[in-house]
């Protein structure tokens, strides 16, 4: 077997001049029915995801405040620290790696290297499963530790500068005697006890480096803005946050899950020699490859919209 073999991926549409393309007997788009239909399925799925992301954007921009992504998404497995956006970056890398292993699998399919196809598809399946496990960790942290549901969002942001109050109405003080103040747009997380809000935590840059400061009841007083001087309770954040996050990442996760299932089936088929015997060879591997790259592509935009903007 020659080491430098030619890549046969483009055989279906070479040697056809433009004038011959629509005369019949060849596929005008130079691709098989199955491949074209996979592309059009992906176009329809792109519209579905775009619809959801557009709904997210429209609702988010209509709200006076929205949870700060680097405050909400800062946990990491096995580490009790506040590492903003690091775990979700790891998840992005996992999907990028799995896309790369998928391209290698398709390339091995063009060389009709059955063992190569199975090897690279297996790595892709592992990548997908790792992503699903990671997403499960994120959801568990949000639901169990931070009490986010589809109708409740304990991540809020202050709408003006102010100071935290004790239960008796006096100004709360930090350990070093300075008043516990907050500034406009500062994020906080309300923690719950027995299903009721019992206090909150926030990151105060002036106190203890990156650690969290906590305040054991919800009373606050604004010192600036339209409600200056008024005593209020720290409010829950917009409900739509939880619903949108779980629905959109859940829908994407469902695509990853079904993708992993299909990848596993096609990998087993390839291993059994089914595609070696086919006239169109390993084209099925290409088709599921297109689906898998689409899943990665959607994640690029979900990552952008939820975590970076």
Partner 1 sequence: MAEHQTYEEAKALVFRGLMLLGAITIIEVVVALLAKGHLIHGVNFSHGFGHYVYMLLMIGFSIYKAYFIIFFFMHMAYEVRGLVMSVLLPVLLLVWAIIAFFSEGSYWGRSRENIRQRNEETVKPASGSNTQGYYIIPGTEKQVKLG
CA–CA distance, 136 with 236 (Å, rounded to integer) = 24
What does the chain come to in residues? 309
Please state the closest distance from residue 34 (CB atom) to partner 1, in A: 13
Instruction: Give the DSSP letter string of 88-103.
Output: HHHHHHHHHHHHHHHH
Whichever of 42 and 264 has its CB closer to partner 1, that residue is: 42
Whichever of 112 and 199 has its CB closer to partner 1, that residue is: 112
Whichever of 9 and 143 has its CB closer to partner 1, that residue is: 9
Whichever of 92 and 114 has its CB closer to partner 1, that residue is: 92
Whichever of 60 and 180 has its CB closer to partner 1, that residue is: 60
Q: Determine the angle formed by the axes of helices 33-62 and 283-303, rounding to 10 degrees.
A: 10
Please state the closest distance from residue 305 (CB atom) to partner 1, in A: 9
Please state the closest distance from residue 254 (CB atom) to partner 1, in A: 20
| Contact set with partner 1 (CB under 8 A) | 3-7, 9-11, 13-14, 21, 28-31, 36, 39-40, 42-43, 46-47, 50, 53-55, 57-64, 68, 70, 84-85, 89, 92-93, 96-97, 99-100, 102-104, 107, 111, 185, 205, 225-228, 286, 289-290, 293-294, 296-297, 300-301, 303-304, 307-309
User: Which residue shows structure tokens 């909400």?
Assistant: 72
Kindly list the distances between the CA atom of residue 27 and the CA atoms of 23, 89, 285, in Å, as whole numbers in the listed order.
Answer: 10, 41, 20
Please state the closest distance from residue 29 (CB atom) to partner 1, in A: 4
Please state the closest distance from residue 126 (CB atom) to partner 1, in A: 16
Q: Can you name the residues that pair with 173 across neighbouring β-strands?
A: 179
- Pair 229, 222: CB distance under 8 Å: yes
Q: Token pair for residue 163?
A: 């100071």
Whichever of 37 and 136 has its CB closer to partner 1, that residue is: 37
CA–CA distance, 213 with 243 (Å, rounded to integer) = 28
Please state the closest distance from residue 62 (CB atom) to partner 1, in A: 4
Kindly list the distances between the CA atom of residue 181 and the CA atoms of 19, 71, 82, 171, 292, in Å, as whole numbers in the listed order.
Answer: 74, 18, 21, 9, 48
- Pair 241, 155: CB distance under 8 Å: yes
């Amino acid at each position: 077997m020659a080491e430098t073999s030619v890549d046969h991926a483009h055989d279906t549409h070479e040697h056809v001049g433009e004038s011959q393309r629509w005369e019949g007997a060849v596929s005008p788009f130079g691709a098989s029915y199955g491949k074209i239909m996979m592309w059009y399925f992906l176009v329809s799925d792109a519209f579905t995801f775009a619809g959801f992301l557009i709904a997210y954007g429209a609702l988010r921009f209509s709200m006076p405040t929205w949870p700060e992504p680097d405050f909400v998404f800062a946990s990491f497995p096995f580490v009790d620290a506040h590492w903003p956006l690091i775990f979700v970056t790891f998840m992005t890398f996992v999907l990028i790696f799995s896309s790369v292993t998928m391209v290698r699998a398709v390339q091995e399919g063009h060389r009709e290297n059955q063992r190569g196809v199975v090897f690279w598809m297996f790595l892709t399946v592992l990548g997908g499963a790792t992503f699903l496990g990671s997403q499960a960790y994120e959801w568990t942290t949000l639901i169990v530790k931070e009490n986010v549901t589809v109708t409740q969002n304990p991540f809020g942001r202050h709408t003006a500068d102010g100071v935290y109050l004790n239960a008796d109405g006096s100004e709360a003080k930090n350990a070093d005697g300075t008043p516990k103040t907050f500034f406009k747009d500062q994020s906080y997380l309300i923690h719950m006890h027995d299903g009721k809000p019992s206090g909150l935590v926030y990151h105060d840059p002036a106190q203890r480096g990156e650690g969290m400061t906590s305040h054991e009841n919800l009373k606050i007083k604004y010192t600036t803005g339209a409600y200056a001087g008024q005593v209020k309770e720290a409010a829950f954040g917009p409900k739509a946050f939880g619903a949108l996050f779980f629905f959109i990442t859940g829908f994407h996760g469902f695509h990853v899950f079904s993708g992993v299932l299909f990848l596993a089936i096609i990998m087993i088929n390839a291993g059994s020699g089914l595609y070696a015997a086919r006239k169109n060879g390993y084209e099925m591997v290409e088709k599921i490859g297109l689906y898998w790259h689409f899943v990665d592509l959607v994640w690029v935009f979900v990552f952008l919209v939820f975590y970076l903007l």
